[in-house]
Structure 1
Amino acid sequence: MKSAFILLPLGLMLAACSNDDEAAPPPPRPVKSLVLEETNSVPLSFAGTVEPQIVTNYSFQILGRMISRNVQVGDPVERGTLLAVLEATALEQDVQAAQASLVSAQASSNNARVVEQRQKGLFAKTVVSQAAVEDAVQAAQAAQSAEVRARANLAKAQERLSYAEITADYTGVVTSTAAEPGQVVAAGQTVVTVARPDLRDAVVDLPPSAASGIKIGDPFSVVLQSDPTTVVKGRVRRIEPSADPVTRSQRIRIALQAAPAAFRLGSVIAVSLPDTRPSELLLPASAIVTRDGKTLVWIIPDGTDAVATREVTTTGTGDRVAITSGLKRGDRVVVAGVNSLTDGQKIRISGDLK
């Protein structure tokens, strides 16, 4: 009986201890958080090269064997400078033959005119008939037509002879050559490329996100990569109508304004323009939770040590997303361990994500 009285208080004490253990709340969960701040507008910078605005690929208009090329890459040329020459023996012979034909036609025409005048004189003295005069007039007209045809053939032969030479149309610099002396070149095959160095573009490939807001006339600052202190202004002159099929980038051409000689053709440059996009609230993608078709984040309300869900709308993909609605500047958001939290769960901030 005495043993029963001893065991009863002991059982009650054990039961009390068991109830205390079941009622003890779990310890606060440590989390990392981020206080939302608006991003500041920063200049966007892209690399590119200096290229000429005007480039001409010179070629012969006829098939032939090139016997000389008078320029090399980098040579300056003036208007009328001889660039390359084809073998022209056959063309020169054609000109000589045309000249001989013209001389013969001129002689025939002169003789026909003399005969015409003689027949008209004899007809006035009733020595010859009207038919003889008409034959003489017709012969004179045919001879004159033959002379005109011979003169046109000579001009045509001389024109073809001029095709055996390529001359520069403007002052520029040779940027490339594509044929060597002794080579047979086809009509239209590029032989020499000449560019105008005074009119230069900064050529840049922009990603779609940056190119979408660019328009003709937009200002850019262009920096020479080899000397960042050398800066010139430029404006968009041309936007290529189609994107690159591989990179999907958009090529733009920026006309350089009063660029110094340091901006040589082929120089590497960097162009920049202010980012005019509005400020954004950015979050790491790890802070986003998707449940039941809703986009949620865990926030820590001011003055509390528990989490609560907040529905948001976002834009963008990748490591960071932009919040367009649902949050404001200064809100504290959980950015790590979001998938294991429950609404109202106690937390302990173990650090802020920068």
Structure 2
Amino acid sequence: MNKPLFVATLISLSALGLAGCAKKEAPPEPVRAVRTITVSGSETVAAHEYAAEIRARTESRLGFRVGGKLQSRSVNLGDSVRAGQLLAQLDGQDLRLGQDAARAALAAAQTNLDQASADYKRFKELRDQGFIGAAELERRETAMKTARAQLDQAKAQASVQGNQAGYASLVADAAGVVTAVEAEPGQVVGAGTPVVRLAHDGPRDAVFSVPEDRVGAVRQLLGKVDAITLQPWGTGDSVKATVREIAAAADPVTRTFLVKADLGKAAVRLGQTASVRVAGQAVAGVIRLPLTAVAEAKGQTVVWLLDRGQMAVRSQPVVVAGADGNTVVIRQGVKPGDEVVVAGTHMLTAGLKVKPFVEVASAAPKVIPASASMPAPVASN
């Protein structure tokens, strides 16, 4: 090979290699389209929502008035019962034996009184005839009074033992629904130990808890008819309720106050979950923004403001006062007249050039005549 030609070829290849290793310039970042709204102050009513449960106005934890072994339980969870219906039964053998003993003691006391009364009658006749002294008659009278007192005591004891035997049967005090079962057959229960929990038929309450900083506002609604609104879950109907009771002290664990609201004759189900909405006072000049306008940057809550002069965005820290549905209430950071980006905030950086988003109308579909869309028929031989 010709030496000058070889050198020229080598130089050309080296130049191409160096050109391939040269750093390429990054393409310019595209101008993003953003959707914005102009901030304006408005009047709003601050409202707070709490989760509530529908409960019976009266709910009793029923238990036996005597202790013993639970022999049977005739109701289960969710059963509807009527007043006087048998709920559970104890083994009452010992109670029946005690009742028999009390009856025997009563019979003995009655016999003793009859004997003392007959003795007193005979000794009174002897005293009238002068055969005995007054002291002897007084002793017979005292014995008769003692026997009568013993009879009264035996009667009372027999009544107590009869009641004890009757307490071996647990019956419903009122009509209602069994909401809990707390003892099973074969279990030995003490006097007063709950066996079943009964929610009485009748008025229903919405029970919910409020924090300490809101209990004062709720207390102002106490007794005001239809002061709060109840929204049962799974239904589109709202119910008005009246606050009738507020706990005097906070719960030691949750530090919240229990509130009960009367639902009147509302058609709600026992145990149903609902949302309670408590409206506050109207506040003027409140700034509300969509949830999509709020982002987080470096541990701060921010929104992105659009500078129309430079068509660029910058972040602005804000203080959020609360949420209401799909909007947030801004306490500090923006003012009426600011233009806030409400879509695509996660793609923005400080100083990024943007352009307003323009809604593009979808083109109408082209209609092809039926005559043009069908091919001409081909004649067959």
Structure 2 length-normalised TM: 0.64
Q: Is 1:74–1:174's contact at 8 Å kept on the other side of the alignment?
A: yes
How far apart are residue 248 of structure 1 and its match? Answer: 4.8
- For 1:332 and 1:50, the matched residues in 2 are separated by 45
- For 2:182 and 2:247, the matched residues in 1 are separated by 26
Query: 1:227 maps to which residue?
Result: 235
Counterpart secondary structure, 2:217: coil
Matched, 1:58 2:62: yes
C-alpha distance 138-223 of structure 1, shift in aligned 2 (>3 A): same
Query: 1:93 maps to which residue?
Result: 97
**1:1-354 alignment to 2 at 5 Å?**
36-39=39-42, 40-41=44-45, 44-206=48-210, 211-215=215-219, 216-218=222-224, 219-228=227-236, 230-243=237-250, 248-260=255-267, 263-279=268-284, 280-281=286-287, 322-323=331-332, 329-330=336-337
Counterpart secondary structure, 1:278: strand
Q: Is 1:66–1:185's contact at 8 Å kept on the other side of the alignment?
A: yes
Query: 1:28 maps to which residue?
Result: none
- For 1:252 and 1:206, the matched residues in 2 are separated by 7
Q: Is 1:82–1:166's contact at 8 Å kept on the other side of the alignment?
A: yes
What amino acid does structure 1 have at the position aligned with 2:259? I
User: Once superposed, what is the RMSD of the aligned Cα atoms?
Assistant: 4.3
- For 1:199 and 1:192, the matched residues in 2 are separated by 20
Per-residue displacement from partner, 1:145-173 (whole Å, max 9, x unpaired)? 21112112112212222322222111211
Structure 1 length-normalised TM: 0.68
Q: Is 1:232–1:257's contact at 8 Å kept on the other side of the alignment?
A: no
How far apart are residue 304 of structure 1 and its match? Answer: 9.7
C-alpha distance 250-35 of structure 1, shift in aligned 2 (>3 A): farther
Q: Is 2:54–2:272's contact at 8 Å kept on the other side of the alignment?
A: yes
How far apart are residue 74 of structure 1 and its match? Answer: 1.8
- For 1:255 and 1:322, the matched residues in 2 are separated by 35
Q: Is 1:91–1:160's contact at 8 Å kept on the other side of the alignment?
A: yes
How far apart are residue 270 of structure 1 and its match? Answer: 2.4
What amino acid does structure 2 have at the position aligned with 1:267? Q
C-alpha distance 105-315 of structure 1, shift in aligned 2 (>3 A): same
Counterpart secondary structure, 1:48: strand
How far apart are residue 224 of structure 1 and its match? Answer: 2.6
**What is the number of equivalent residue pairs in this alignment?**
299
C-alpha distance 135-286 of structure 1, shift in aligned 2 (>3 A): closer
Q: Is 2:80–2:178's contact at 8 Å kept on the other side of the alignment?
A: yes
Q: Is 1:217–1:237's contact at 8 Å kept on the other side of the alignment?
A: yes
Per-residue displacement from partner, 1:293-347 (whole Å, max 9, x unpaired)? xxxxxx99xx999xxxxxxxx8959997524xx996447799x9xxxx9xxxxx9
How far apart are residue 247 of structure 1 and its match? Answer: 5.4
What amino acid does structure 1 have at the position aligned with 2:230? V
Range moving further from structure 2, 156-165 or 207-216: 207-216
**Runs of 5+ unmatched residues, structure 1:** 1-31, 288-298, 306-313, 342-346
How far apart are residue 38 of structure 1 and its match? Answer: 2.2
Counterpart secondary structure, 2:260: strand
Percent identity (aligned):
29
C-alpha distance 34-248 of structure 1, shift in aligned 2 (>3 A): farther
- For 1:134 and 1:248, the matched residues in 2 are separated by 72
- For 1:205 and 1:74, the matched residues in 2 are separated by 26
